[in-house]
Amino acid sequence: MVAFRFTEHASWTLVGLLLGSSPACSRGRAPSSNAQNAATAHIRPELRVAEQLVHGLFRVAPGEQVVLRGGPHYLPMMEAIAIEVLGAGGKAHILITTDAERRYRAERLPLQYLGPPPSSIDSALILQSDLEIILPYDSDFRSIWPDLESDRFKRHQRSNPILNQLNDRSSRRYLYLAMPSQPEVVAAIRGVGLDSTTYTKLWWRAATASIDSMAKQGAALRQRLEGAKKVRVTTPDGTDFVFTRSDRPVHVDVAAMSRVASRGQSWARRQASFPAGVVTVIPVEGTANGRVLAAADQCDRPVSQETFELRGGRPEVIRAATDEACVQGGLGKAGAVGFLSIGLNPAMKPVLGTNGNFLPEQALGLISLGFGDNVRFGGMNAAPRWIVPLTHATVLTDGVPVVRDGRLVASAGGSGP
């Protein structure tokens, strides 16, 4: 499965309004009871998303500086996040960019003023902030910059190397919060044959799923995976492959983005994805051997009966009943096995259909075999990424199941048998 990438600031993989009440301070917050959950069930989803981001994923602590950017349309979401940040003892800085400003820069700003070096304020926002969350702008990127080969666009981008250096020097965490209503997301969702209404409902449910619950499941899985010598994956369709786990720590995305957890990590490892809920293990590349058969996938068109042999960590004899050339091209560019992930999010569901297949990595119990880029998880492979989803899979660590038929087993933090 190919990953969707947006040009403006960050990437998004298919998986990201007015305030209703003041959120409670995170310090000394009592555990939620069933009565409290019922009483807060009516709270607008923006507030619940903000709570999961601030208190769940990023664990914002007193004194942290949080920068929020985006277009006016997403100001209510930024306000909700800002209020949660304040309630946690942090400080929020909201920066709004309008479409009129973006179009003026793209079309009429004198060339000598495009892409200036970062100012002292620009640098401070990167180096002195602890967290930056960027929301979409109101219009899609390509409607503002239709010609990416133009001299204007190249000048606009000329300060990027300096910005990249500042990001590397910083200690901040980062999230591009792709919203289901933004034009790029709507287009990408339609491209895989899923209607935007269905995806929007899935996104909001997944975005408000309990980070704390997923973190507990992730910790149990991490313990099992890090204690294993051999990992085996099978499916009823005929998948059966094994690999040796590398010495890289197992990555649990819902437990990796607090200031403490991210301290000392590279810029690539301080960039979050949301909705969250993925446990990732990196194999020793040459030890992955066996057969893979994915009943459903998505490339330029829906893919069925995707098969290949894993030999020394590389896919060979690649076949598919539909869109075979696309699958062969994607796996060929990605090259070697990069990671294996297990979904934790109970609200994110695969959607299969004749017009397309949507198989998000975060879906609870879904196994994703990744090829290529694993830098974000602590690996060294920076090749293009390709993901093969495996439904109803069983994952065994030294012969003991942690996932059985697409369900987490109880001993690995799940509710299954």
pLDDT in tens, 21-76: 222 333 333 334 444 444 444 568 899 999 999 999 999 999 999 999 999 999 99
Task: For residues 43 and 25, give the distance between their C-alpha atoms in angstroms, rounded to a whole number.
Answer: 16
Q: What is the pLDDT of residue 411?
A: 65
CB 321 within 8 A of CB 297: no
Q: What is the pLDDT of residue 42?
A: 57
- Alpha-carbon dihedral sign for residues 72, 73, 74, 80: positive
Q: Which fold has domain 34-177?
A: Thermophilic metalloprotease-like (3.40.1830)
DSSP 3-state of 111: helix
Q: In what order do the strands lie in the sheet with 302-311?
A: 314-319, 302-311, 289-298, 240-244, 230-234, 394-397, 400-404, 407-408
**CA dist list (Å): 245 to 112, 224, 231, 248:** 52, 11, 7, 8
Whole-prediction pTM value? 0.86
Confidence label for 7 from pLDDT (cuts 50, 70 and 90): very low
Q: Choose among 277, 275, 223: nearest CA to 255.
A: 277
Burial of 362 (0-12, 13-18, 19+ CB in 10 A): buried
DSSP letter assigned to residue 3:
P
- Write out the two tokens for 7: 């040009």
Percentage of the chain exceeding pLDDT 70: 88
CA trace torsion 268, 272, 273, 279 (10° rounding):
80
Half-sphere exposure of 94 (CA within 13 A, CB side): 15
The domain ranges of the chain are 34-177, 212-412
Task: For residues 215 and 225, give the distance between their C-alpha atoms in angstroms, rounded to a whole number.
Answer: 15
> Kind and range of the H or E element at 69?
strand 65-70
Q: What is the pLDDT of residue 266?
A: 93
CA 401 to chain centre: 26
Q: What is the pLDDT of residue 6?
A: 39
Q: What is the pLDDT of residue 193?
A: 79
Confidence label for 208 from pLDDT (cuts 50, 70 and 90): very high
Q: Judging by DSSP bridges, how do beta strands 173-176 and 131-134 pair with one another?
A: parallel
Q: What is the pLDDT of residue 214?
A: 96
Confidence label for 80 from pLDDT (cuts 50, 70 and 90): very high
Q: Judging by DSSP bridges, how do beta strands 230-234 and 65-70 pair with one another?
A: unpaired
- Write out the two tokens for 36: 């409290």
pLDDT in tens, 111-146: 999 999 999 999 999 999 999 999 999 998 999 999
CB 229 within 8 A of CB 243: no
CB 171 within 8 A of CB 263: yes
pLDDT in tens, 24-39: 333 333 334 444 444 4
Q: Judging by DSSP bridges, how do beta strands 367-371 and 357-358 pair with one another?
A: unpaired
**Buried b / exposed e across 211-238, counting CB within 10 Å, b at 16+?**
bebbbebbbbbbebbeebeebbbbbebe
Q: Choose among 247, 251, 246, 258: nearest CA to 218.
A: 251
CA trace torsion 339, 344, 349, 351 (10° rounding):
10
Confidence label for 196 from pLDDT (cuts 50, 70 and 90): confident
